[in-house]
Amino acid sequence: MESLCYFHFKLSNHFLIRKWFFYFHFFHIKRIFLKGVNAIFNSVRELHLISNGTMPMDQLREILKEIHPYATRIHLREKQKTARELFQTVELLAKENIPLSKIIINDRVDVAFVTSAAGVQLAYHSLEAAMVKKFFPQLKLGCSIHSFEEGQKAIADGADYVLFGHVFPSKSKPGKPPKGIEELTKLTKLDIPVIAIGGITAENTPQVIGTGVKGIAVMSGILDASDPLAAIKAYTNV
């Protein structure tokens, strides 16, 4: 009788242990799965790096050689450069094996076309987006916008994505009030990928990504950093 009771006790314990292990593994796997899902939705989907127009090209080249694998797009925003100088800049970057498929030229459709760059970023003073899309359909077309209405127009004109900002106070826009997270959230309701720009840091990136944007665009947060490689990794590892 004692041996039977002992067997029953041992068997019960065996099932309890198996049950405990089942629940432990179930909740552990669930936690890992949810953590992975959160990481996907809260991580940076696209990171657009924008040149500041003041950095010497040799310095920019050296930085981009090291950090370009972490950038989705590299925007050459060089307003003071001539078409010839921009062309030479793209050639310089291409020689360093920086993919042309990542390079976006600000404003200059002609340079984007002849260099076979990925695309062009249009501002309010640029050619009409609809015209660019009609004659240069191979170029990825981005439009810089500052309102929901401008976003609607960009869609109608055939833009592939919009760059919206500035979201937070920015050194490049002194004295101008930021658009804010609420306005950015409204923009994400449009049927077009939205890239947020302006005052975005590694710390506030999760808040920006949480609005549903396609990605972020950064200038000084990376290029002005003492260690650009560490800075861009901080953005991509949030």
Residues designated as active site: 166
CA distance 187 to 184: 5
CA distances from 76 to 10, 33, 93, 124, 190 (A): 72, 39, 11, 17, 26
Rg (CA), the chain: 25
Q: Which residues lie across from 93 on neighbouring strands?
A: none
CA distance 238 to 159: 29
Cβ–Cβ under 8 Å, residues 130 and 157? yes
CA distance 124 to 107: 10
CA distance 151 to 190: 7
Q: Scanning the structure block, which residue is given the tokens 């924008």?
A: 50
Structure tokens at 54: 């003041």
